[in-house]
Chains A and B, each alone.
Chain A
């Protein structure tokens, strides 16, 4: 597969397909939640967000959004470059949070319990060949 443009419609379709096929509801702990990753300073200067809606462990919506963003349980925000480095496995997402390069909004205690799940689907997303 040739590289897809990160956060492009094609990349989003591929991401949804991989997440749905590689993560069972059991692996997702039958989670119901919603999350938005907001990318500041995208290459075109825009701000975008990737929206995840998960119901009973199944991804029911994965889409790129622009403002106004939907209400969600968790928001992770940061510069596009930071997310790109995480996707290329150049830095870890935990490290980025601990260093303040990413910002989490939402219930921290619940977020801790979901961290391993998020790691799982971030790993799958990082395996999509793409260009930044």
Chain B
């Protein structure tokens, strides 16, 4: 028995995909999305990459040649199963991948599962139209069908190794928050800009073991003053804006540990704070507490939103809430949609998806009052349990006033 708390049975994952392939009549699966590469290889694949999964046996990864040796070094797959492609005769990605698929099929006709959906996450990695057509032209005896639901459904429930990686990544974001707090307290904030706060947090998290501030939204999202309260906004890449007394500060940190993702936001009021600002704080903190008490197996995004927005209405701040309380999460590259692809809008979260134990998501709230130039964000990866949820970051909930 493997005693590594971060152990993941990657060969088992491949076998699970192969069983689903057989059930779906697929001869080969061609993965191209970042989330699929992470989930199957245990390696970060920042360049265009593909994984060819045969009906049995080991898969083969293809990535840009400059990074292939490193991916093989990080992955559980050996160098014979992590190959590079390059703009050379026979080695471009279409030819190299197609040749491998032909090798597996040994001249037979067949069905190739591909990943050809849609996402609002830019680095998703679905096949482009050009790639789809080029593979179809190179593999005329194969029928290409969209099969990405196989990986999405298998990756929904998190195993122990994945959960522990997320726990560690959450712990690392806490270290980032400590670094920020130490830098801004006792008037220290006056020395810094948003970008510098992002860097201080990054240093704190890197020291604690993070390999990347993973979010494509600017690494660590730092907002101050009016930027915390942008209408409907929940995306704040840091700017060179200087922190100022009397303003809110939003610190949204992203850590990566073994492809597990930390995502936690903490908020501050930079003194002096007004009574009205404290009213906003109470609204926000009470709401986050209630949300965290409400998540459990059986709850759905829409049922939770209805319940929370009723609370916001009763307290008189419903107009300041972005009406969503979560987004999906998984190993690096798996961000945004929650649950399977079975909602009313293709590739978006099904609002009636019922959470199951061992699903993970990012509890995500954005409170924004543009007219008062104030806002707060809460994000934290959570693990759904039968009776509640476990937060991956354990940084104390609150909005501290920094003198």
Q: List the interface of chain A (C-beta within 8 A of B).
A: 77-78, 96-105, 107-110, 112
Distance between Cα atoms of A104 and B82 in the complex (Å):
17
Task: Determine, out of B11-19, B85-93, B132-140, B219-227, the stretch whose residues face the partner at the interface.
Answer: B85-93
**A108-B99 in contact (CB<8A):** no
Can you name 20 A-B residue pairings with CB atoms under 8 Å? A77-B90, A96-B89, A97-B89, A98-B88, A98-B89, A100-B88, A102-B89, A103-B91, A103-B95, A104-B88, A104-B89, A104-B90, A104-B91, A105-B90, A108-B65, A108-B84, A108-B88, A109-B72, A109-B82, A109-B83
**Residues of chain B contacted by A77 (CB below 8 angstroms):** 90
Q: For B84, list chain A residues within 8 Å (CB).
A: 107-109, 112
Out of A99, A100, A103, A108, name the residue touching B68 (CB < 8 Å). A108
- Report the separation of the CA atoms of residues A98 and B90 in the bound assembly, to the nearest whole angstrom: 10
Which partner residue on chain A sits nearest B103 by CB separation?
A105
Contact B89 A107 (CB under 8 A): no
Bound CA–CA A112/B88 (angstroms): 12
Q: Contact at A103–B65, with CB atoms within 8 Å?
A: no
Expressed in whole angstroms, the Cα–Cα distance for A103 and B95 within the complex equals 10
Structural contact, A107 and B83, CB atoms closer than 8 A: yes
A99: nearest chain-B partner, CB-CB: B89
Q: CA–CA, A29 to B91, complex, Å?
A: 24
Chain B residues with Cβ below 8 Å from A110 are 79
Check if A78 sits within 8 Å of B69, measured CB to CB: no
Residue B111 at the A interface, CB < 8 A?
A: no
Closest to A96 in B: B89
CB-nearest residue of chain A relative to B65?
Answer: A108
Of A102, A105, A109, which is within 8 A of B69 by CB? Answer: A109
* B80: Cβ under 8 A from any A Cβ: yes
Within 8 A of A (CB), among B281-320: none
* B88–A97 CB distance below 8 A: yes
Q: Which residue of A lies closest to B87 (CB)?
A: A98
The winner among B88, B89, B91, B99 for most chain A CB atoms within 10 A is B89
Q: Which residue in B79, B85, B89, B96 is a CB contact (below 8 Å) of A100?
A: B89
Give the residues in chain A near B91, CB-CB below 8 Å.
Answer: 97, 103-104, 108
**From residue A40, how far is it (CB to closest CB) to chain B in Å?**
12
Given A101-B89, A108-B65, A109-B83, 20 other A-B contacts at CB below 8 A? A97-B88, A98-B87, A98-B88, A102-B90, A103-B89, A103-B91, A104-B89, A104-B90, A105-B99, A107-B83, A107-B84, A108-B68, A108-B83, A108-B91, A108-B96, A109-B65, A109-B68, A109-B82, A109-B84, A112-B84
**List of B residues within 8 angstroms of A109 by Cβ:** 65, 68-69, 72, 79, 82-84
Chain B residues with Cβ under 8 A from A107's Cβ?
79-80, 83-84
Cα-based distance from A70 to B69 in the complex (angstroms): 27
B95 to chain A, nearest CB (A): 8
Give bound CA distance, A112 to B68, whole Å. Answer: 11
- Chain B residues, Cβ within 8 Å of A108: 65, 68, 83-86, 88, 91, 96
B86 to A, closest residue via Cβ: A108
**Which 3 A-B residue pairings sit nearest by Cβ, starting from the closest?**
A103-B90, A103-B89, A108-B84
Can you name the residue of chain A whose Cβ is closest to the Cβ of B95?
Answer: A103
